[in-house]
Structure 1
Amino acid sequence: MSPFSVVSSGDDPSEETTGAPDLGRLLRRSASGDEGAFGELYDAVSPRLYGLVRRVVRDPAQSEEVTQETFLEIWRHCARFDPRRGSALSWMLTIAHRKAVDRVRSAEAAVRRDETWHATSHEAAHDTTAETVALRLDAERVRRALDTLTDAQRGALELAYLSGYTHTEVASMLDLPLGTAKTRIRDGLIRLRDTLGVGS
């Protein structure tokens, strides 16, 4: 049976008396193949993950697809969750945000391909071509620099600078103290600066 077809844990009356579920424990149980635990996990965090994805992707149908892709990745890789590196919610939100950003980038790349096709169907001026190449090289440098960050740093930076959230919102979404969120963003920026050689 697929882990996405499990019965909602909301049918269990004991849930009402136990309070918020232990997401880390549910991830560990899911890692051992416990589909019931994964169902509880899905019920507990799917509104939060969908809300984050929707803010990035905008389109409701695509947001639903990205949310399902997020849960599929969580199911496949929940054994990789390390509570020493952050909360379970933060780990899952980071996956959701990365998936959402990837979907937006993919859509933007498709638009750029269309625009490029239309542009190249006419004779391009030499300086325009050179500018396009320079922009692509800069974008590739930034992508490589982002790959040098830790998942925690990259997730916080993407929320703050690609999605436009405030530091307080980033801290709330990643279930972190405000100071920790600011530190991740600052450290990520410093590492990006050093990798790109900005100011050197």
Structure 2
Amino acid sequence: MTGRSEDPNSLQDEVFTRVFDANWAALRHHIEGAVADDDEVTEIVSAVFLEAWTRLDVAKPMGRVWLFRAADRELRARTGRAPSRLAVLDAVHHGMAGTSEEPGEADLSADQMPDRDSVLRALAVLTSRQRRIIMLAYWDGLTEGEISELTRYPRRSVRTMLRRAEKRMRDALGLEGASEREG
């Protein structure tokens, strides 16, 4: 006998804390892409983590994709979603133009960069699935595999949709020579 009588609630607390710490910032960022009100973002994050707590399996804790899926369900359940947020547009804007946040690493000069209105018009030429894939790739920074898991589309379909969406956006933005996102 080891003398160890670990409290199952203590183990659940420990596992949940790891899930929360590893995913809180990414989940909040994901929700901020659709919701403008900071209090509502906090409310949705809380609702998702409450669901995660109630469904937690300590042997197989949920990951970021599960949490994003729960957040998307919560967002769909609420009405009156804000239209595309400026921060999301900026992320797509910089990603499509082949720019980075690091100074001096931009592929296009400032005068070649399309404006937000152009990005909005370019997003409008995409199908709703393509827009979703673009947002997940550029705003949330998900890989093709993570997008595939989240959307439940085959990885090959995600890759194809992402490439087609990027090409359609580059064409609409007049950025035929801009670099493509690494998959």
Q: Which has the larger radius of gyration?
A: 1
Common topology (TM > 0.5): no
User: Taking CA–CA contacts closer than 8 Å with sequence separation of 6 or more, which of the two structures ends up with the larger relative contact order?
Assistant: 2
In the superposition, the TM-score normalised over structure 1's length comes to 0.39
The structure richer in helix per residue is: 1
In the superposition, the TM-score normalised over structure 2's length comes to 0.42
